[in-house]
Structure formats: structure tokens, C-alpha cells
Amino acid sequence: MPDLNVHLGDRGYDIRLAWRALDEEFARFASVRLPAGKTALLSDANVSPLYGDAAQAALEASGREVHRVTVPAGEGSKSFERLEGVLGELLHGRLDRSASLVALGGGVVGDLGGFAAAVFMRGIPFLMAPTSLLAQVDSSVGGKVAVNHPRAKNLVGLFRQPVGVLVDPATLVTLPGEEFTSGLAEAVKTAVILDGALFSWIEDHAGGIRSKTPDDLVHLIRRCLEIKAAVVAEDERERTGRRSLLNLGHTLGHALETAGGPSRFRHGEAVAVGMVFASRLAVETAGFPPAEAARVEALLDAFGLPVRIPEGFEPGTLLEIMRADKKNLGETIRFVLPRSIGEAELRGDVPESAILPGIEKMMA
Ligand SMILES: NC(=O)c1ccc[n+]([C@@H]2O[C@H](COP(=O)([O-])OP(=O)(O)OC[C@H]3O[C@@H](n4cnc5c(N)ncnc54)[C@H](O)[C@@H]3O)[C@@H](O)[C@H]2O)c1
Ligand SMILES: [Zn+2]
């Protein structure tokens, strides 16, 4: 299958998507895109034992010296401390400005690795090899790299595009069920904001997706990446509002992640709850048909994603966190609201009087 491209001029890059691409195509893909110097292979403690050796062998096949760096698995690794640790390992491995980095893992490894590569020696090239569904449909493309601040997610980061993305859906076979489900939320999100036909396709193929049928996974990921690549090419730095659409469900979602801490919600789970909330707000304020809101909720629910705020969260606290969100302009909370399935808009005019009661109605 031909590569997908992110058309960004001299920052543009290819996305290779194929079943077993990590075994069969990684060596070539990496060798023509990375400089000849040392390569850091960043992964986490779950992914490294599964795919690290194959990736290392592929990189070494092109004559590169590989320095393995492994971080603990989980959102906790998107921290200043871990970033400093990774940078220390790169120095320890005597990587210099001719070096490069490969981020092999989920969104955490991608966000952390991309950020480390962007700031190490003022920036070395990096390549994404996403292994979670969430990273394969969303986070590996687009160049948003970040670590978390204790007060807010992704607060410290930058835009830095990778030099290539290699997606091997066969790695999803070992992805734990809940992590796979979490990634489905971002896929549903993509469909809701920009592709009604994809949404219907997901509804029709929910069984095949859940059972990780190769053809269904490749189709789902390909379509999500096509959309993401096009959006990023249009609005790389989230200036026109186009890329902001990808934040559907993320306003409440990030608040839930911040309030609950990383152990409470996976990213996609929080986004799922946030999407149901946004759908309901959209019914009230943006003319989103109630029947379509019901379809969104039903699909998320059918995948086993949460569609309510569980006990233990305080609506007032969530509202406060939403007010501090970096996606806002000034004091106004901005929401992405669907108008219909496949079409959404960024709105800064949702009345405050609708927000708090809306959150309260989402409590389980
Ligand atoms: N940069 C972006 O544009 C963007 C977009 C969406 C989300 N994100 C970020 O992505 C992060 C979430 O990513 P995630 O859900 O991939 O989390 P993650 O990286 O923590 O991966 C989830 C879990 O699955 C494990 N794992 C990954 N691949 C595996 C495989 N093939 N086999 C077995 N285990 C595997 C990981 O070790 C981890 O325990 C969040 O921090 C979120 O903010 C970033
Ligand atoms: Zn997200």
C-alpha cells in the first residue's frame, strides 16, 4: 500500500502503515530517514521486551549504533523527572547532534520521546513507531510533544514533527484489552468530527474491530491517519481552529485526567466521557440532533468505554480545571461541539449556565 504523507513542506513526512511493518519494513524505513549517527531507542517497560529487540536489530542492520532507553510504563513517565532521566541517558550514551531517536511505544513514549528529541542538543530527528491503538490512530502524527505539569496535562511541550511514522497494527495483538478500548475513543472522535461515513463503518464493523481482525484494524487506522494528516497539514499549530476540532471531548476529558490523576482514567476513557458531555451540550446549544448524540453514546458504550463521570469527582472542581485549560482564550471555556456526525465546530459561546448543570447530569 502506498505511504500516507503529512504535507508540511520541508517538515513533511511519510507514514508507513502495514501489518507486520515493524518486522518487515522498519529497517529500510528508518535507514533512509535517520542520520547515520547513534540512535536512541526509547520504549517503556512493557513494550521494550516485546518489540525492542526486533526494532534494535532493524536499526543495527543499517549500521547504526543503538542506545536503548527504557522508562516505566504509564502516564507517570510524562514528567519533568523522567524527561531529565531520558536526557541524562542520551548524554550517558554519548549521543551528540548527529544522533536520532526512535520512540517505540504508546502515546506516553511518543510524547516524552518526541519532547526529549526536540530539546536534546536543540533538537535531533526522531521517528515514531507507535504500538498502542491510541498512538496509531492519533498521537504519533502531528508533532505535538509534551510532558505533564502536576497542575495540568501536556502543559509543557512544543510542536515538533517526526521524520517518519511507521505503524504496525500487528503489535496491537499484545495490547491489553482496556488499552485497546481506550484507543478506540480517539478513533470514534475522529469520525464524529470529520467523517460520518467512517462513523457508520465503525458501527458496522465493531465486532471485527474488537476482535482485532487485521483488515478492519488496517482500514480503521488508515482512515483515521488520513484525516489526522490532512488536518495537521492544514493547521499545523492549531491557529485556524481546524486542528482544534481534534480536541472534541478533551475539555472535560483533560479535567477528568487532571482531577483523577493518571490512575483513575486512561486518556481515551476520559475523552469518551468528554465526548458524551460535548454531544449533550451540542444538543442543547448547537442543534446536534438528539438521535445522533444517542448514536455516539451507544457506540462508545458498546466498545466498553465509560459514558458517565464516576463517583468521587466534584463538578465544581472539574469546572475550575476546565477554566484553566490551555485551549481556552482568556476566561471563556472553549468546546468542540458536533453539529452532526462528521461535522463539528469550535465554540467559545457556550453559556456558563449550561456547563455546570451539564456536568452534574453526567454524574453516574
Ligand atoms: N501528541 C498527541 O497528539 C496526543 C494525542 C492523543 C493522546 N496523547 C497522549 O497519549 C498518551 C496516551 O497514550 P496511550 O494510550 O498509548 O498510553 P501509553 O503509552 O501509556 O500506553 C498504554 C499502555 O499500553 C502499553 N502498550 C503499548 N503498546 C503495547 C503493545 N503493543 N503491547 C502491549 N502493551 C503495550 C504501554 O506500556 C502502557 O502500559 C496520553 O499521555 C495522551 O495525552 C497525545
Ligand atoms: Zn487525545
Q: What is the pLDDT of residues 169-207, one digit of tens each?
A: 999 999 999 999 999 999 999 999 999 999 999 999 999
pLDDT at residue 1, rounded to an integer? 66
User: For 69-86, b where at least 16 C-beta lie within 10 A, e where not — what string?
Assistant: bbbebebebbbeebbebb
- Residue 223: closest CA among 295, 141, 346, 292: 141
How many angstroms does the Cα of residue 30 sit away from the middle of ligand 1? Answer: 21
How long a stretch of residues is the chain? 364
- Residue 327 pLDDT > 90, yes or no? no
- Residue 326 pLDDT > 90, yes or no? no
Per-residue confidence band for 58, with pLDDT thresholds at 50, 70 and 90? very high
Catalytic member of 243, 266, 280, 334: 243
How many angstroms does the Cα of residue 357 sit away from the middle of ligand 1? Answer: 32
How many angstroms does the Cα of residue 351 sit away from the middle of ligand 1? Answer: 34
- The stretches of the chain forming alpha helices (DSSP H) are 21-24, 26-31, 47, 53-61, 80-92, 107-119, 133-134, 177-194, 196-204, 206-210, 214-234, 250-260, 267-285, 290-302, 315-323, 352-361
Statement: the pTM of the whole predicted model exceeds 0.85: yes
- Residue 262 pLDDT > 90, yes or no? no
Mean pLDDT of the chain: 95
Annotation marks residue 122 as catalytic: yes
pLDDT at residue 146, rounded to an integer? 97
User: Distance between CA atoms of 198 and 204, rounded to whole angstroms?
Assistant: 10
Q: Ligand 1 test: best mutation among 43, 109, 115, 139, most atoms within 8 Å of CB?
A: 139
Annotation marks residue 238 as catalytic: yes
Q: What is the pLDDT of residues 115-130, one digit of tens each?
A: 999 999 999 999 999 9
- Residue 182: closest CA among 229, 135, 221: 135
Protein residues whose CB sits closer than 6 Å to any atom of ligand 1 = 44, 46-47, 50, 73-75, 78, 105-109, 111, 131-132, 134-135, 138-139, 142, 144, 153-154, 171, 174-175, 179, 182, 266-267
pLDDT at residue 325, rounded to an integer? 78
Catalytic member of 89, 179, 186, 257: 186
User: Distance between CA atoms of 217 and 230, rounded to whole angstroms?
Assistant: 20
At 339 the three-state DSSP class reads: strand
Q: Give me 51's grid cell.
A: 518489540
Considering only CA atoms, which residue is closest to atom 3 of ligand 1?
139
Considering only CA atoms, which residue is closest to atom 10 of ligand 1?
107
Which strands make up the sheet holding 126-130, listed edge to edge? 4-6, 13-17, 164-167, 126-130, 100-105, 39-44, 66-71
Q: What is the largest CA-CA distance in the chain?
A: 62
pLDDT at residue 93, rounded to an integer? 97
Answer whether 112's CB lies under 8 Å from 119's CB.
no
Q: Give me 248's grid cell.
A: 472534541
How many angstroms does the Cα of residue 245 sit away from the middle of ligand 2? Answer: 11
How many angstroms does the Cα of residue 25 sit away from the middle of ligand 2? Answer: 28
Annotation marks residue 154 as catalytic: no
Answer whether 294's CB lies under 8 Å from 203's CB.
no
Q: Ligand 1 test: best mutation among 15, 79, 109, 111, most atoms within 8 Å of CB?
A: 111
Q: What is the pLDDT of residues 264-310, one digit of tens each?
A: 899 999 999 999 999 999 999 999 999 999 999 999 999 999 999 99
At 70 the three-state DSSP class reads: strand
User: Distance between CA atoms of 111 and 183, rounded to whole angstroms?
Assistant: 15
Strand partners, 15: 4, 165
For residue 37, with 0-12 CB atoms within 10 Å meaning exposed, 13-18 middle and 19 or more buried, which class applies? middle
Catalytic member of 189, 223, 228, 266: 228
Considering only CA atoms, which residue is closest to atom 5 of ligand 1?
139
Say which ligand is closest to the CA of 265: 1
How many angstroms does the Cα of residue 38 sit away from the middle of ligand 2? Answer: 31
Q: What is the pLDDT of residues 200-247, one digit of tens each?
A: 999 999 999 999 999 999 999 999 999 999 999 999 999 999 999 999
Contacts of 138 (CB under 8 A, 6+ apart): 107, 183, 186, 187, 190, 224, 228, 246
Annotation marks residue 223 as catalytic: no
- Residue 265: closest CA among 307, 298, 295, 228: 307
pLDDT at residue 36, rounded to an integer? 92
Average pLDDT of the segment spanning 70-77: 96
